[in-house]
C-alpha cells in the first residue's frame, strides 16, 4: 500500500475524484496512470506547500485556561509549531509549569522575541487586554498573530492576524442543526 488513487482520497475527504486530481496537479504532485499517487510524494509535497516542514517558532502570550490548553494541545508539534516562550503578566502564574514549558514574566518577552527572532505570536489573553498586547507585540517585530480573543484586532497592513472564531463556529453548528429541524431548547 504505497500508492493511493484519487478515487480513494476523494472517498476519504468526501469530494469529487477529479477535484483531487486537479488540486494535486496544482501543487505539482504527479501520479502514475494505473497505479495512483505515491503516498510519500503526497505527504512530503503537501507538507512543504503548507509550510509544515520548516520549524515554526512562536511565543504564547496569556496562560489562562485557554493559553494552558494551547500550550498542551497535541498536534501543534507535529505541525512544526515550537513555542520558544510562554508568558503571562500575572506573577502568580510565573514559574508554573505548563506541559513542557515554564511560564515567564512578560518582561522577558522582549528579549526572548529578539534572541529567537520570533515572528509569530499566539494571543490568549483576556478580551479587554488583547488590543494593547497586540500593539506591543507588533512593536516588538511580531508579524503574525494567532488571536483567540473574541475581538477584531487593529494592526498595520503588513501584520497577518488569524482570528480563531469560536463564536462563528458555534453559529454555523446551530444553523446546521436548525435547518435539520432540531429544536435546541424545550418550549
Partner DNA sequence: TTTTGTGAAAATCTTCACAGCG
Partner DNA sequence: CGCTGTGAAGATTTTCACAAAA
- The residues binding a second copy (CB under 8 A) are 49-52, 54-58, 64-66, 68-70, 72-76, 79-82, 116-117, 119-120, 127, 143-144, 146, 150, 158, 160, 162, 164, 166-167, 169-178, 180, 182-186
**Binds 167: which of DNA, a second copy, none (CB < 5-8 Å by kind):** a second copy
87 lines the binding site for DNA (CB under 7 A): no
Partner whose binding site includes residue 24, from DNA, a second copy, none (CB under 5 to 8 Å by kind) = DNA
Distance set, CA 57 to CA 14, 68, 153 (Å) = 33, 18, 22
36 binds DNA (CB under 7 A): yes
Q: Of 12 and 25, which CB lies nearer to DNA in the complex structure? A: 25
Helix, strand and coil in the chain, % to nearest 5: 40, 20, 40
Of 30 and 170, which CB lies nearer to a second copy in the complex structure?
170
Judged by CB under 7 A, the residue of 12, 13, 27, 30 near DNA is 30
Q: Which of 12, 13, 15, 49 binds DNA (CB under 7 A)?
A: 15
β-pair partners for 59: 85, 121
Angle between helices 17-26 and 6-13 (to 10 degrees): 110
What's the rounded Cα separation, in Å, for the pair 167 and 150? 8
Q: Is 42 in the site for DNA (CB under 7 A)?
A: no
Distance CA 128, CA 46 (A): 38
Cα separation, 127 vs 164, in Å, equals: 13
Contacts to DNA by CB under 7 A: 5-7, 15-19, 21-22, 24-25, 30-37
Amino acid at each position: 500500500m504505497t500508492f493511493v488513487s484519487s478515487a480513494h482520497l476523494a472517498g476519504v475527504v468526501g469530494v469529487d475524484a477529479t477535484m483531487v486530481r486537479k488540486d494535486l496537479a496544482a501543487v505539482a504532485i504527479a501520479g502514475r496512470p494505473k497505479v495512483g499517487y505515491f503516498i510519500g510524494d503526497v505527504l512530503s509535497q503537501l507538507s512543504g506547500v503548507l509550510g509544515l516542514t520548516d520549524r515554526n517558532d512562536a511565543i504564547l502570550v496569556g496562560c489562562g485556561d485557554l493559553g494552558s490548553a494551547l500550550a498542551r494541545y497535541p498536534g501543534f508539534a507535529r505541525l512544526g509549531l515550537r513555542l520558544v516562550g510562554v508568558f503571562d503578566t500575572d506573577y502568580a502564574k510565573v514559574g508554573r509549569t505548563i506541559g513542557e514549558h515554564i511560564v515567564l514574566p512578560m518582561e522577558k518577552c522582549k528579549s526572548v522575541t529578539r534572541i529567537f527572532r520570533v515572528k509569530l505570536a499566539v494571543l490568549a489573553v483576556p478580551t479587554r487586554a488583547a488590543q494593547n498586547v497586540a500593539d506591543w507585540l507588533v512593536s516588538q517585530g511580531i508579524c503574525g498573530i494567532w488571536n483567540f480573543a473574541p475581538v477584531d484586532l487593529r494592526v498595520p497592513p503588513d501584520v497577518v492576524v488569524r482570528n480563531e472564531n469560536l463564536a462563528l463556529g458555534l453559529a454555523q453548528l446551530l444553523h446546521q442543526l436548525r435547518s435539520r429541524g432540531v429544536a435546541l431548547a424545550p418550549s
